[in-house]
Amino acid sequence: MSLDRARARTEPPAPETVAPRRGRGTELVLLIFAIGIATFAYVSVDLGALGRVPPNALAYLGGLSAATAVAHIVIRIRAPYADPVILPIVVTLCGLGLAMIHRLDIADGTTRASTQLTWMAVGVALFVCVLLFVRDHRVLSRLPYLAGLAGLLLLMLPLLPVIGHSIRGARIWINVGPMTFQPGEAAKIILIIAFAAYLVQTRDALALAGRRFLGVDLPRARDLGPILLVWLAALGILVVQNDLGPSVLLFGIFVLMIYVATERISWIILGLLLILAGGFAANAVVSHVAERIEFWRDPFIDPQGQVAQSLYGLAYGGLLGTGLGQGRPDLTPIAESDFIGSALGEELGLTGLIAIILLYALLASRGLRAGLLLRDPFGKLLAAGLAAGFFLQVFIVLGGVTRLIPLTGLTTPFLSLGGSSLVMNWVLVALLIRLSDAARRPAPPSSSSSLADTAVTQVVRIR
């Protein structure tokens, strides 16, 4: 009897397997639309404000297309199974941010948009480096405590007497030659990696329930150490750096990651209570925080009128906006960074602002989807931490400029002017690309088929 006939008698017919689609063609089409939207917004700014096409429109289109093409080609080579939606969303957000910064340049007589495009190129370069050198995300989990220490040291750098630098009362900057850099943006990514690696090791203990109160299983008292330690560290950052944003963001990310790791709502409740307690304590001790809360309660007592002007701009824009180049976003203080969401809401209206929020939500959902599909627990927690932290930052920023919560001073990812924020967010996107590639990549073939071939061969030999 031949080997083929023996195999046909001993094995059922194997189901047909369909290779998963890589999606690079879809990504390319979406990137063309993203570049078109960004260029249309850039040209519309000049048409609305000056009544002419900007003379550097082709140069802008070429620079944006070149940076996008490099990122797309590297994804095709190094992460062929990555989510095809992530990069087009990021390019669209960067393009809208560049258009609004250019709009403010026309009003202020500056050239900050070209600088922002340069920082975008630097961010794409780091994006490429991450995809080239981090081929397996699991290597990031090897040294969780060292990563946590490195993140804390980065947060402490602005406190050094020589390189530390304060801007608008917040000591979160360092001087690097003629430039300033915000190390907290890099610390955020490193600490998320450290949190994910640590929670993989301790999630079983943290998931154990203690006493039950009002239908909620509270964590055991012995397991409260990590969240209390991070809470105290967040309060320390708030006190020494005189800045509310990084402390709230890092603590919120840690609480969300504990919830993802343990699936217990009690950690969310405990985190919210600690945030309220920390807020009351900071309001009594830190004058900067007390001032922010007072301006939140009554924005018209602010001598700079930041939140009040933001609300006026949003009201002036209405539902559909004044149109790009036809509003007065320059009347809002710090419109190029902290209040760029208000500037976009004025000229694009509530409809345009909701569309931008939906882009952020879609980007976060793709990161969470990658976490659901990943097979290793570290990858799941890392994807959830990066995506949840990303959307939490957007909520904190836009909540501040719309007076939903007190103003924190964080920047809107990819939209706001700032090199450190833009560059580090491109690094964050590179990690999401690497995670989504691992999630969508087909599993290696199992050894069952080879064992079956060996068994059939043995049967033939016996006969």
For tokens 């990084």, the residue is 246
Domain assignment present for residue 52? The answer is no
The distance from CA 70 to its chain's CA centroid, rounded to whole angstroms, is 21
Domain assignment present for residue 167? The answer is yes
Asked if pLDDT for residue 35 goes beyond 80, the answer is yes
Please tell me what DSSP assigns to residue 299: G
Among the ranges given (79-83, 169-173, 214-218, 250-254), the one the predictor scored with the smallest mean pLDDT: 214-218
E strand segments, 317-387: none
Euclidean distance between CA atoms 325 and 327, whole angstroms: 6
Q: What is the mean pLDDT of the chain?
A: 84
What number of residues does the chain have?
Answer: 463
Asked if pLDDT for residue 371 goes beyond 60, the answer is yes
How many CB atoms are located within 10 Å of the residue 436 CB? 26
**Which tens digit of pLDDT belongs to each residue from 383-415?**
999 998 888 999 999 998 998 888 887 889 999
Which residues, other chains included, contact 143 with Cβ-Cβ below 8 Å and sequence gap of 6+? 197
Asked if pLDDT for residue 278 goes beyond 60, the answer is yes
Asked if pLDDT for residue 436 goes beyond 60, the answer is yes
Which residues, other chains included, contact 81 with Cβ-Cβ below 8 Å and sequence gap of 6+? 20, 22, 23, 436, 437, 440, 441, 442
**Which tens digit of pLDDT belongs to each residue from 165-222?**
777 666 777 877 777 788 888 989 999 999 999 888 888 777 765 566 655 666 666 6
In this prediction, residue 74 has a pLDDT band, given cuts at 50, 70 and 90, of very high
**Mean pLDDT to the nearest integer, 419-442:** 93
Half-sphere exposure of 341 (CA within 13 A, CB side): 28
Continuous segment of H or E residues that includes residue 180? strand 179-181
Euclidean distance between CA atoms 296 and 405, whole angstroms: 7
For tokens 């043995």, the residue is 458
Asked if pLDDT for residue 8 goes beyond 50, the answer is no
Question: In percent, how much of the chain has pLDDT > 70?
Answer: 87
Question: What does the block give as tokens for 83?
Answer: 């989510």
Euclidean distance between CA atoms 282 and 267, whole angstroms: 22
pLDDT the model gives residue 406: 87
Euclidean distance between CA atoms 210 and 217, whole angstroms: 6
If one counts the domains in the chain, the total is: 1
Q: Could you give phi then psi for residue 346, rounded to 5 degrees?
A: -70, -45
Among the ranges given (242-246, 334-338, 398-402, 403-407), the one the predictor scored with the smallest mean pLDDT: 242-246
Asked if pLDDT for residue 453 goes beyond 50, the answer is no
How many CB atoms are located within 10 Å of the residue 199 CB? 23
pLDDT the model gives residue 306: 85
pTM of this prediction exceeds 0.85 = yes
Please tell me what DSSP assigns to residue 11: S
pLDDT the model gives residue 455: 43
Domain assignment present for residue 417? The answer is yes
Do the Cβ atoms of 371 and 386 come closer than 8 Å? no
Question: What does the block give as tokens for 231?
Answer: 């809470």
Where in the sequence is the domain holding 281, given as residue range(s)? 137-439
Domain assignment present for residue 263? The answer is yes
Cα angle: 333, vertex 338, 341; to 5 degrees:
95
Euclidean distance between CA atoms 408 and 219, whole angstroms: 30
pLDDT the model gives residue 95: 95
Best CA proximity match to 273, nearest among 211, 199, 219: 219
Question: What does the block give as tokens for 356?
Answer: 């931008």
Domain assignment present for residue 9? The answer is no
Domain assignment present for residue 377? The answer is yes
pLDDT the model gives residue 456: 38
pLDDT the model gives residue 448: 44
Radius of gyration for the alpha carbons in the chain, expressed in angstroms and rounded: 25
pLDDT the model gives residue 446: 54
Asked if pLDDT for residue 98 goes beyond 60, the answer is yes
Domain assignment present for residue 313? The answer is yes
Domain assignment present for residue 124? The answer is no
Asked if pLDDT for residue 138 goes beyond 60, the answer is yes
**Which tens digit of pLDDT belongs to each residue from 53-65?**
999 999 999 999 9
Do the Cβ atoms of 254 and 230 come closer than 8 Å? yes
